[in-house]
Amino acid sequence: MSADLSPVAVVGLGRIGLPLAARYAARGLNVTGCDIDPALVEQVAQGHCPYPDERGLANALHLAHTAGRLTATTDTSAAVARSKVVIIIVPVGLTADKHADFTALDDAAKAVAAGLRRDTLVILETTVPAGTTRSRLGPLLERSGLRVGREILLAYSPERVFVGRILADLRKYPKIVGGVDEASAQRAAAFYEKALDATVMRVGNCETAEFVKLAETTYRDVNIALANELARAAASHGVDILEAIAAANSQPFSHIHQPGVGVGGHCIPVYPYFLLDGAAEAQLPRAARRINDGMARYAVERLAEALGDLRGKTVLILGLSYRPNVKEATFSSALLLARELAAAGARVLVHDPNYSADEIGRFGLEAAAFPPAHTDALVIQAPHDEYRDLDPASFPGCSVVLDGRNALSKEKVEALGLRYLGIGR
């Protein structure tokens, strides 16, 4: 291993940063994970996995810990001072007015700057608006007294992984790399060629690399919005949208996604706004955000029509997580559904096998027994495996099932004497 590529400091031990650290350790690098959460750092330092639903991570952490390749600390500056490569992957979310919230990134950058040494390579992997690496992160790092492009190297490489299968995705997808200059790009590419199994794909500069991730996620959001618009149109014509999409996608130029009650997670509800930060005239991304966030209201309106009125009715939302089989509720459509149901006068109950009643309560929601003593309607928001063999007839009082992910058999639900509502079905 080149002395220029190890040790490595990974700043941010979240759902993506920790698997990155474990993967680097598996490739023979000495890695220090840095985080401001002492409890998380203690878990990692002991080789314990804080994300049990991330496939393969527990074993990877155990092996890295046993081999002495992975340690953890809350002292980011000290870890940076003894590292040749620094990976920054801390959250950048949204402010109340839908702009990038750089609070965590700025704090991390200042901590990194306090420990920077000459010839260190810094790579940002957090998804950010185009121009952030050069124009925001660079000046913060230069508080170290070292100049970007001369004494320190700076590059950007977007994370392109899916929570729950991150270690597999790190081997599968090309690693995009762009630098603030040629030397930074070369060193970053050399690092990833050593640290990962994936093909490394260099692009012209860090702004291009930043834009790649914004384009990927905005494409998905716009495509889902199209599917949702098609679903609403299909419903008005008595067409089953699932059948129509499957047939349309048999043509190789058609890649229509699936409709649903909304889009959640850290990425798709957030990153189109980063694109809009530098392209205010762009119309499709803004419209897609409005359409996808509006699907919760559309679903609740359909439910109200089926029940006659939601006032005084009890509605059970199944799935707090934003997607199946993960414990992550960031921007979950469950939150939008709960808000719309409550506004319509319903009592809202929530169940999710991944969350305790106390955890659900922290979202301001009422946790339900499973099944509850009474519910007038079920809403399938996240079709976890535990709901795969769901028997709606076992829920006392239930007369309507709103299948927000088109995950259930319409025929089976209706055979039980219940009203089935799908999205575009």
| Catalytic site positions | 213, 267
Q: Which residue has the tokens 């029509």?
A: 305
Burial of 98 (0-12, 13-18, 19+ CB in 10 A): middle
Query: Can you tell me the distance from the alpha carbon of 388 to that of 407, in angstroms, rounded to the nearest whole number?
Result: 8
Q: Please compute, for residue 290, the number of CA atoms within 13 A of its CA located in the half-sphere on the CB side.
A: 5
Integer Cα distance of 176 and 199 in angstroms: 9
Task: Assess contact for 108 and 76: CB atoms under 8 A.
Answer: yes
The residues that bridge with 123 in the sheet, in sequence order, are 87, 155
Residues in the chain: 425
68: left (phi over 0), alpha (psi -120 to 50) or beta: left
Sheet with 400-403, edge to edge strand ranges: 366-367, 347-351, 314-318, 377-380, 400-403, 419-421
Q: Residue 238's CB: how many other CB atoms inside 10 A?
A: 7
How far apart are alpha carbons 294 and 276 in whole angstroms? 19
Could you tell me which residues come within 8 angstroms of residue 41 by beta carbon, excluding any fewer than 6 positions away? 13, 33, 35, 72, 73, 74
Euclidean distance between CA atoms 347 and 49, whole angstroms: 37
Q: How many CB atoms lie within 10 A of CB 410?
A: 16
How far apart, in Å, do the first and last CA atoms of the chain sit? 56
